[in-house]
Structure 1
Amino acid sequence: MASNYDALSARLREAGDYIAANPLDTATRSLRAVADHSGLAPATFTRLSKALGYENFEELREGMRRRLERRQASFAARADALQGASDGGSADLIRRTREASLTNIDRLTDEIDTAKFDTIADHLHAARRVVLLGGLGSTAIAEYAAYMGNFLGDNWMPAGRMGASVGAALSDLDRRDALIVFTKPPFANTSIRAAEFARARGVYVLVVTDTHTCPALRHASARVVVPTESPNFFSSYVATMFFVETLMAMIAQRAGPTATERIADVETANRALGEVIGL
């Protein structure tokens, strides 16, 4: 698009600017959805696709998706690169990891404004039930979020824990409920299907991922794309943890005295059962 930009008409440039600024919509949504969101006619995106050498918009969209997917190096390749960059020693690795983590948090806070945080927190606070799902590397973050949420109320629960059926956790959900899906490459197929299943039932679906090519995004009511850059062979979860902890704090603010009483009761029960020592 960059090499053909000067040859495009004003309207096609407008469509091209939208695609460049909104890779999420372009990579995961239909032509009609992209057109509706951009305020441009579907035919404009079709003409742009042909002007750029594609047969149609679907071919352009698939080309963009493949291009974004190629940016995701395999864990093995990243491990090999990590081992090849060992000249700086441990001190250099610590520095680069710290810088990457801080940059990820800064990028997240720059891209997600307060209004979006508030809207997500409002939906989750008002939900009858909140189910959390994460597969593979995202399992721990889903369980951690469920652990924090359970202090606020008994309506927060992880799906598929310890081999339990994910279907059982989702079967009774409807538009009064919410599902939070954490999924990052390589995507857990169950997480993608769960998002689709829940959305079809009117459930509020929050998808937290790290790439615009995530298949679950097309089923999301709300979406958060979290930066995960890291010198490590595995994607960083630092910014994801920042998002989860900030979101839970916002929900706790909305919960009021009832949640405070429940937290106190949970702490009392933990001490009575000898599960904790100290505070």
Structure 2
Amino acid sequence: MPIESSAPPQHLDELLALLRENFAALSPQFQGGARYLLDHPQEIPILSMRKIAVDAGVQPATLVRLAQFLGFEGWQGLRELFVEAFRGGPQPYAKRAKKLVRDSGSSRLLAEMLDTQHRNLDLTGANNAESMPRAADLLSAAPNVYIAGFRSCYPIAFTFQYIYRLFRSSAHLIRGDAGTLEMELRALAPKDAVVVVSFAPYSQEIIRVASAAKQAGCRIVALTDSTVAPIALEADCTLLFSVDSPSFFPSITAGVAVVEALVEQLLAKKGKGAIKALELAEGQLHQTGAYVQARHG
């Protein structure tokens, strides 16, 4: 990591790469500021340093010291890299939704929630335009794909495995039922791919899955809320989804959208083979009575 007298990064990509590479070695205060810079670069040119500090959960002086630690004279020098990168580009996405207002009416609450989900999806789409095809290539090349997500992330992982398995039998869900997580992780082998899903606060189980995948020589795809999430720091590919919500609990809507989009690309890559497998799966489901038969007449 550069020291205060070092020459500062000259381009935004260089700065962001430096922060990702050295994030684990930063102090907790610096990590708070660095996380915001990495995850919300589009907001740095338009927000005041004080507002950024509030959103990042740090003191304004921390941002100044972080900039100096990176070799800048002060915050303005660091901020200028973001301004230059976004000058002439698309307009930044809307700010996060306002906090829940106790006296708001039900129609207001619904409008806030839907508006936030729209922004979550817009931001998620912008963040994954380049990484989504890489993730599809990585998973398509793997002999087996394992998917893990625990607690509130379980629906995301289950949705991905359920849909993907309709045309790929070698897609497996890691569940860890009845304390069997370690037994399931023994199946991981080199060249397999492991998809890990989590957002802050990150579960201990997902860290264990990611560590086991790395030790086994698997490729790792992280679906998470931050480029410096524990599961993202050593992942081969990271897909980001926004969890903003005006309610009391983070939203998983954008996470489900990410896995649906990823399955769409995986199906397209496999082509006719996927269509044949999908037709077979649908036929079997109907024949075994999985669906209610439509009544005629």
TM-score bracket, shorter-length normalisation: 0.7 to 0.9
Deviation for aligned residue 1:186: 2.1
* Structure 2 residue 190 is matched with structure 1 residue 194: no
- Equivalence for 1:12: 8
SS at match of 1:277: coil
Amino acid of the structure 1 residue aligned with 2:106:
S
Give the number of equivalent residue pairs: 232
TM-score (norm 2): 0.69
Deviation for aligned residue 1:251: 0.2
**Structure with greater helix share of residues:** 1
- Equivalence for 2:112: 96
Which of 63, 83, 86 is matched with 2:29 structurally? 63
**Contact 2:232-2:238 at 8 Å conserved across structures:** yes
- Equivalence for 2:140: 125
Indicate the percent of aligned positions where both proteins have the same amino acid: 21
Deviations 1:183-233 (A, max 9, x none): 112211011121011112220111111134422222311112211111011
Provide closer, same or farther for how the CA distance between residues 123 and 171 of structure 1 changes in structure 2, counting only shifts above 3 A: same
Listed as ranges, the matches of 1:1-279 within 5 Å are: 11-12=7-8, 14=10, 18-19=14-15, 23-28=19-24, 58=25, 60-66=26-32, 82=100, 85-113=101-129, 115-160=130-175, 162-163=177-178, 165-278=180-293
**Contact 1:159-1:165 at 8 Å conserved across structures:** no
Over aligned residues, Cα RMSD in angstroms? 2.8
Provide closer, same or farther for how the CA distance between residues 228 and 63 of structure 1 changes in structure 2, counting only shifts above 3 A: same
Provide closer, same or farther for how the CA distance between residues 66 and 239 of structure 1 changes in structure 2, counting only shifts above 3 A: same
Deviation for aligned residue 1:23: 4.9
Q: Distance in 1 between matches of 2:273 and 2:241?
A: 31
Q: Distance in 1 between matches of 2:293 and 2:195?
A: 32
SS at match of 2:246: coil
Deviation for aligned residue 1:116: 2.0
**Contact 1:209-1:225 at 8 Å conserved across structures:** yes
SS at match of 1:110: helix
- Equivalence for 1:45: none
Provide closer, same or farther for how the CA distance between residues 226 and 214 of structure 1 changes in structure 2, counting only shifts above 3 A: same
TM-score (norm 1): 0.74
Q: Distance in 1 between matches of 2:183 and 2:274?
A: 27
Unaligned residue ranges in structure 1 (runs of 5+): 1-7, 29-57, 74-80
Amino acid of the structure 1 residue aligned with 2:268:
Q
Provide closer, same or farther for how the CA distance between residues 15 and 117 of structure 1 changes in structure 2, counting only shifts above 3 A: closer
Amino acid of the structure 1 residue aligned with 2:30:
M
Deviation for aligned residue 1:11: 2.0
Deviation for aligned residue 1:15: 8.4
Q: Distance in 1 between matches of 2:56 and 2:178?
A: 29
Q: Distance in 2 between matches of 1:203 and 1:209?
A: 18
The worse-fitting range, judged by mean Cα deviation, of 123-132 and 156-165 is: 156-165
